[in-house]
Structure 1
Amino acid sequence: MWEKCKELQNKLLRMRRDLHQIPELGGDLPKTRAYLEERLQEIGIPFEENSFDSGLIATIPGFKDGPVLALRADMDALPITEENEVDYISRHKGCMHACGHDTHMAMLLGAAELLFKNRDRIPGSIRLLFQTDEEGAQGARRMVDHGCMDGVSAVFGTHIGTILSKEIPAGTVICTPGCCMASFDKFIVRIHGSGCHGSTPEKGVDPINIGAHLILSLQEVLAREIPAVKPAVLTVGHVEAGKTYNVIPTEFLLEGTIRSLDKETRDFLAKRIQEISSQTAALFRGSAEVQMIWGAPPVVNDPAMAKLVADCAREVVGAEKTIDHVDAPNMGGEDFAYYLEKAPGAFIFLSSSNKEKGSDVSHHNPRFNVDEDVLWIGSALFVKIVEKYFHIE
């Protein structure tokens, strides 16, 4: 039945563009949820609302009791002002679907329509997870807390775009066994000094000086304390201090992220950020407060489920556009990891990179866009996974 997804392409495109125009942030997504509820009602699929946020859990019952297979799409957008010159540009100023979540919802809706029409062939049930707040790494956890993974036998999700490489052509499917994405966590360091006039720095404690030394010192953790064979990232992405050129401020704010593929490295990075921040501040007569905001753990695909996906991809897009091995995991993060802690499954990448169409721009960029011609592939993959998992001929 997966071939029928090609006939849904125009509908998928319309839904994607509808959703692209109403991006919302975090866990409160009233317009997005209303749109999804309307589409689910049109198809006839029953659903319930997540008790913690705007997430939705819909169920397609098969012809008999059996395994429960979960399919997930994320719903939230990013605080970015869109710069694409398209007639379906975001109508919400300062907010944009710059990571492809609009396509994820559309592709899952398309698959849901076809699966619902063929529910009398499914010896089990399909659970559709429409999840908020992936960007904040909180949505999947809230879905799990609501009970969305109770009784689930396997779970699958897809991410569109150029995550692995913009050189991978549009329509290529990538699904690999084992760890495919890193953990991702945020750290915040507040350095406290003593403000004074810039002409008399000896009368104060300069937090900017402390912050400058701290930024350089933190990079030495990667260079000299983490084995070269263990991938890890420590990035400072935001600093803030002072209001004018001739005043030494009292505080310096530093924010960044750490990425790793195992718990040992993850914990070590957090520990060293705390130690180095405190000791560097003390060295220059200041003090530091460190806050760790823990995100999602690494995304670890079940080998059997990853093989199942790769086999499905070879049927849907062909062997030449199926990748089942990469040399190293991607250091981006995804809270889909929380679902994989509850049931075996796999996270799938669908390339939409096409330079001629301008869809080779990186995620989280104001000009991010996708090659919409691949939308049917995302739906077809979900449907084919259901066929293969349940041995439907």
Structure 2
Amino acid sequence: MFAKEIKELEQEVIAWRRHLHQHPELSHEEQETQAFVCRMLEDAGISYETMKTSYGVIGIIEGGQPGKTVALRADMDALPIREKNDVSYRSTKERVMHACGHDAHTAMLLGAGKLLQQKRSELAGTVLLLFQPAEEDAPIGGAQAMMEDPTFLKWEPDVVFGQHVWPDLPVGQIGVRAGGMMGNSDRFSITINGRAGHASMPHQAVDAIVVANQVMTSLQTIVSRNVSPLDSAVITVGTITGGDRYNVIASEVTLEGTVRTLSLDVRDRVEKRLIELVKQVAEGLGATATVNYQHGYVATVNTPAWADHVQEQALSLLGEGAAPEVSPSLAGEDFGRFLQKYPGTYYWLGTAIAERTVQSPLHDSTFDIDEAALSHGVNILATTAVTALIKIN
């Protein structure tokens, strides 16, 4: 549908992506990124509005005929990571890096917007370009604030699509499935209080480190003994802090971690059991424990009909084998909040670098993409928007 136009646009999209990669900004700090997006929209003749409550931007492409509204979303923020890639477009900021591909997402949405603007007279309806800030600010994020912003509420979509670069898939493939695509992403903090004492006299103390060890071991029984083997759940303790000195029995230890699940039912069951078990283990060893359990991003659950629609576009554009069967990921994604309110689909765009025998994962200091994937991403976004308008009108 856009083959010729995409060829002409390819180098421009790469340049946009590299500019954004060199100038990353953390969540809630996307001021320069917002300004760049607005300039590019202006250059393309696309109307836009900025959010009242954040650095978000909405591009508005109104078709030549009335109709429904389709939204395409890209996130804009970076991560507090020092980049280790030796490339010409390396981040110019010491501890900030686009290690999750949001630079590519923004560039591809700008490209799709430019193509759609050129075809706007043929469109029946409206396409919204949602440039969302603060996706990395889990568990708060930026999606909910965007959906509640007065500007967004003027242009509510009938269906919404999002794509994410994916190093586990080769260029020329996408990953999409009906139902759960990404997981619920919760976090917890456990504080165990024992009683301090001299290392040589443990019988006079309650060792919070020993209790913490038992708690950590017990947590793993929740997945193995309280969750069906056919369901998905992961409990990970990421940090442990406690103790004051090598010869003093610790009085307090704090564990921090995350819980990942796919269904809300399993999420509730794991939360309830985690709080119960931690307190029971601590009390059984003479200590006390407090648990702060915080809900994060909800699972990203694709609307089956729209997942099929995206798969059809990918197969049409990229050929047979372009949409292999994929399993869901338990990584968190703020886009799930859009899909709680609106039908739509979130899919992965293959960006594996063929020269690398081992791909660097998302959020890694050496993460990068094969920029040949950018034109595919632009094409799928733009084509999906056009065909979705036809489908819903």
Q: TM-score range by the shorter chain?
A: over 0.9
Stretch moving more, 141-150 or 26-35: 141-150
Could you say which residue in structure 1 is the equivalent of 2:191? 190
Q: Deviations over 1:144-191 (max 9, x none)?
A: 1215365311100000022xxx3x322211221122221111111122
Superposed displacement of residue 49, structure 1: 2.2
Aligned letter for 1:388? Answer: T
Q: Is the 8 A contact 1:28 1:53 kept in 2?
A: no
Could you say which residue in structure 2 is the equivalent of 1:159? 164
| 1:342 aligns to 2:341 (yes or no) | yes
CA distance in 1: counterparts of 2:354 and 2:281, whole angstroms: 46
CA distance in 2: counterparts of 1:203 and 1:217, whole angstroms: 25
| 1:126-165 superposed matches below 5 A | 126-135=127-136, 136-137=138-139, 138-146=141-149, 148=152, 151-162=156-167
Could you say which residue in structure 2 is the equivalent of 1:246? 247
| 1:295 aligns to 2:296 (yes or no) | yes
CA distance in 2: counterparts of 1:271 and 1:177, whole angstroms: 28
Could you say which residue in structure 1 is the equivalent of 2:383? 384
| 1:370 aligns to 2:337 (yes or no) | no
Segments of 5+ residues of structure 1 without an aligned counterpart are none
Could you say which residue in structure 2 is the equivalent of 1:82? 83
From the superposition, tell whether residues 302 and 357 of structure 1 become closer, same or farther in structure 2 (CA, over 3 Å): same
CA distance in 2: counterparts of 1:114 and 1:156, whole angstroms: 17
CA distance in 2: counterparts of 1:71 and 1:358, whole angstroms: 33
Could you say which residue in structure 2 is the equivalent of 1:178? 179
Superposed displacement of residue 14, structure 1: 0.9
Superposed displacement of residue 204, structure 1: 3.1
Give SS of 1:351's match. Answer: strand
CA distance in 1: counterparts of 2:230 and 2:209, whole angstroms: 34
Poorly superposed stretches of 4+, deviation over 6 Å: none
CA distance in 2: counterparts of 1:343 and 1:2, whole angstroms: 27
Superposed displacement of residue 248, structure 1: 3.0
Aligned letter for 1:267? Answer: D
From the superposition, tell whether residues 307 and 81 of structure 1 become closer, same or farther in structure 2 (CA, over 3 Å): same
CA distance in 2: counterparts of 1:73 and 1:12, whole angstroms: 14
Give SS of 1:331's match. Answer: coil
Give SS of 1:322's match. Answer: coil
Could you say which residue in structure 2 is the equivalent of 1:2? 2
Q: Is the 8 A contact 2:21 2:90 kept in 1?
A: yes
| 1:115 aligns to 2:120 (yes or no) | no
Could you say which residue in structure 2 is the equivalent of 1:31? 32
Q: Is the 8 A contact 2:65 2:122 kept in 1?
A: no
CA distance in 2: counterparts of 1:205 and 1:30, whole angstroms: 51
Superposed displacement of residue 357, structure 1: 4.9
Q: Deviations over 1:50-91 (max 9, x none)?
A: 222221122111113311100000111112111111121112
CA distance in 2: counterparts of 1:69 and 1:239, whole angstroms: 45
Could you say which residue in structure 1 is the equivalent of 2:331? 332
Superposed displacement of residue 197, structure 1: 3.4
Aligned residues: 386
Superposed displacement of residue 221, structure 1: 0.6
Superposed displacement of residue 362, structure 1: 0.9
Q: Is the 8 A contact 2:174 2:349 kept in 1?
A: yes
Q: Is the 8 A contact 2:82 2:96 kept in 1?
A: yes
From the superposition, tell whether residues 21 and 201 of structure 1 become closer, same or farther in structure 2 (CA, over 3 Å): farther
CA distance in 2: counterparts of 1:44 and 1:202, whole angstroms: 76
Give SS of 2:124's match. Answer: coil
Superposed displacement of residue 359, structure 1: 7.8
CA distance in 2: counterparts of 1:377 and 1:359, whole angstroms: 23
CA distance in 2: counterparts of 1:43 and 1:383, whole angstroms: 15
Q: Deviations over 1:343-368 (max 9, x none)?
A: 11111111111240578211111111
Aligned letter for 1:140? Answer: A
Q: Deviations over 1:249-303 (max 9, x none)?
A: 3321211111112111101111111111212222222222211221122111111
Q: Percent identity?
A: 37
CA distance in 1: counterparts of 2:87 and 2:352, whole angstroms: 18
CA distance in 1: counterparts of 2:51 and 2:386, whole angstroms: 28
